[in-house]
Amino acid sequence: MLGLALPAGLEPQTPAVIAPEIRKTAEALREKAFAGSQAARWVEELSDHVGPRLSGSPGDAAAVSWAVATLKARGFANVRAEKAVTHVWKRGIETGEITAPFAQHLVLTALGGSVPTPAEGLEAEIVELPSLAALEAPTVNVRGKIVFFDKKMERTGDGSGYGAAVDVRSHGAARAAKLGAVGVLIRSIATDHNRTPHTGGTDYEAGIAKIPAAALSVPDAELLERLVKEKKPVRVRFVLTCHDDPDAETANVVGEIPGRERPEEIVLLGAHLDSWDLATGAIDDGAGCGIVIEAARQIGQLPRRPRRTVRVVLFANEEHGQAGAKAYRQAHDSEIERHVAALEADSGTDAPTGFSWNAGPTAEPLIREIAAILAPVGAGEMIPRGSGGTDVAPLRQAGVPVFSVRQDSSRYFDYHHTANDTFDKIVPASLDRMVAAVSAFAYVAAEMPEPFEKIPAEARKKDEW
């Protein structure tokens, strides 16, 4: 056993909710994974053998094939690829430069879904703004100009800095276009200072002109910031040849460890199979795929499987449209009431820091005991009203209890959505801790005689970052 003391307040309650034999098996799963798991192996295969897997690309199709073959080879039952239809966007050429007051090269990358610039490029004076709200200031005129959103992201351990900054990426182009801007550049939503820009999706609005949008590397954004401070007009020219292709078929990949008594009741472990195209998607979300595959595989190796089915779902198209999440919800509508829990892993490779949950209030005593089981690997802090994750959001909205093993995110956004998201960033020992926590949780959820209480209606709405 790990032999670590439990944090104050996490000692098992009296009377215990979790029966001793269930607790013993959960702790054994935790210890086995902590001693070493194969999660990093699955990430390495996906990252190195498949590589980038933007939705609708050849890499996406290869990832589906890899996932089906991997789950079958590891003893999962009912393995299948469930169809989803995805938007297809291709990046193309992307270049940038400052043309005045001084000539300088810029390193940038198109935001996912961006429209292209004219073939000769887009050139205009920039207007630097710190936020979306600043667009509404009466003294701001962006008509005919390129809006430069210079919103800095704070490095935090819980990822909250991302949530505070990401709105300019998601909505900046649409909001600026409403006011007559011809293009948008953003400071990458990132915590690094490398010359590697961070992509990510941008959302346009119906009836509003679509304007080109790109992310600058942080050093290049700071160059623009310094030049603007000199009180001279700053002009930028950039070229994007990104474009849409017709929608294409992709798939969620599903595999199961069938329950021994109530196989129709589901504990879902999810991660997303797609990635952005700039790198091999090791931390986002190869790590999550490795964690949930390995956690379920270890449960499947138990001499006596749990009462309920543990279902792994590797979702399609999380990065730019969530087509996989929507398709899963539709395809499984008739059994949503039989989903007793859903957990998503999509926070990279670093160690667990807590355990978030969203379920009915009667679930709290059980969740407190689960947190106590997870505490020795670092996931004992209970965080109520968690969102669960993007891919399980449709399940949460239907009342399915959702859970998340929170991870240290302090370095995640150094690599997130960049060309640096490669396998060398993976920390196998931290993945083992994650597998330890996820497998122990999933076993308890699948084995308890009674399921968690459904999420109350008022707690089902989408949580904001």
Would you say residue 432 lies in a domain? yes
Would you say residue 199 lies in a domain? yes
Dihedral sign from CA coordinates of 169, 170, 174, 179: negative
Q: Are residues 232 and 335 in the same domain?
A: no
pLDDT in tens, 15-28: 789 999 999 999 99
| Residue that is last in its domain, among 219, 241, 263 | 241
Would you say residue 464 lies in a domain? no
Catalytic residues: 318
Dihedral of the CA atoms 16, 382, 318, 438 (nearest 10)? -40
Q: Are residues 132 and 256 in the same domain?
A: no
Residue among 46, 38, 37 nearest 69 (CA) = 46
Q: Are residues 213 and 333 in the same domain?
A: no
Give long-range contacts, CB 8 A cutoff, 24+ apart: 216-219.
216/96, 216/106, 216/107, 216/108, 216/185, 216/186, 216/187, 216/188, 217/107, 217/108, 217/188, 218/187, 218/188, 218/190, 218/192, 218/193, 218/194, 219/107, 219/193, 219/194, 219/195
pLDDT in tens, 242-288: 999 999 999 999 999 999 999 999 999 999 999 999 999 999 999 99
| Alpha carbons 281 and 48: distance in angstroms, whole number | 10
What values do phi and psi take at 86, rounded to 5? -120, 145
pTM of the prediction? 0.94
Res. 462 pLDDT band, cuts 50 70 90: low
Q: Which domain holds residue 185?
A: 92-241
Would you say residue 9 lies in a domain? no
What values do phi and psi take at 23, rounded to 5? -60, -45
Is the pLDDT confidence value at 72 over 50? yes
Would you say residue 220 lies in a domain? yes
| Residue that is last in its domain, among 221, 241, 261 | 241
Are 162 and 465 within 8 A, CB to CB? Answer: yes
Model pLDDT, residue 406: 95
The full length of the chain comes to: 465
| Residue that is last in its domain, among 241, 259, 284 | 241
Q: Which value, in Å, is the radius of gyration of the alpha carbons in the chain?
A: 23
Is the pLDDT confidence value at 110 over 90? yes
Which letter does DSSP use for residue 155 in this model?
Answer: P
Is the pLDDT confidence value at 447 over 50? yes
Distances (CA, A) of 86 to 96, 183, 271: 29, 26, 17
Least confident of 161-165, 204-208, 368-372, 386-390: 386-390
Model pLDDT, residue 386: 83
Q: Provide the token pair at 214.
A: 């790109």
Would you say residue 12 lies in a domain? no
pLDDT in tens, 353-399: 999 999 999 999 999 999 999 999 999 999 888 889 999 999 999 99
Number of separate domains in the chain? 2
Residue among 96, 122, 101, 131 nearest 229 (CA) = 101
Q: Are residues 225 and 309 in the same domain?
A: no
DSSP 433-444: HHHHHHHHHHHH
Looking at every residue in the chain, the average pLDDT score rounds to 95
Least confident of 14-23, 43-52, 74-83, 200-209: 14-23
Q: Are residues 260 and 183 in the same domain?
A: no
Would you say residue 15 lies in a domain? no
Q: Are residues 172 and 281 in the same domain?
A: no
Which letter does DSSP use for residue 197 in this model?
Answer: -
Q: Are residues 294 and 336 in the same domain?
A: yes
| Domain at 121, CATH number | 3.50.30.30
Residue among 161, 48, 130, 195 nearest 412 (CA) = 161
What values do phi and psi take at 224, rounded to 5? -60, -40
- Residue 344 CA, chain-centre distance (Å), reads 9
Q: Are residues 217 and 329 in the same domain?
A: no
What percentage of the chain has pLDDT greater than the value 90? 93
Q: Are residues 150 and 115 in the same domain?
A: yes
Q: Are residues 260 and 325 in the same domain?
A: yes
Q: Are residues 280 and 267 in the same domain?
A: yes
Would you say residue 4 lies in a domain? no
Pairing relationship of beta strands 235-240 and 122-129 according to DSSP bridges: antiparallel
| Domain at 394, CATH number | 3.40.630.10
Q: Are residues 430 and 341 in the same domain?
A: yes
